[in-house]
Amino acid sequence: MWQKVAKTSEIENSQGKTVQAGTVAIALFKADGQFYAIDNVCPHRGGPLGEGYLDGAEVTCPWHAWTFDVKTGECKNIPNVKQKSFPVKIEGDDILVDA
């Protein structure tokens, strides 16, 4: 179900933000001019990925430095670990996530 989570003006390029889509915490990123959404809770120890350091399309968890591709959710540290990713669409100035 598509839910409005933010305005496009709230996130600069190469930044992330934690948003809520209903009861789901989402890490929302703007990388290379595009918006991406993955599960905010790092599978390692529950760190907030939306507060992580974004380098290109890779976010590093601020707690223990696990790195994820924001486009696919794939973990760069452990190949068989993957964050859930969510479709994103823009309507006017609104960012919507299908979560």
**42-84, pLDDT tens digit by residue?**
999 999 999 999 999 999 999 999 999 999 999 999 989 999 9
CB 3 within 8 A of CB 68: no
Domains (ranges, CATH) in the chain?
2-98 (2.102.10.10)
**Residue 79 pLDDT:** 87
pTM, to two decimals: 0.95
Q: Which long-range contacts (CB under 8 A, 24 or more apart) does 31-34 make?
A: 31/56, 31/57, 31/70, 31/71, 32/56, 32/57
pLDDT tens for 4-53 read 999 999 999 999 999 999 999 999 999 999 999 999 999 999 999 999 99
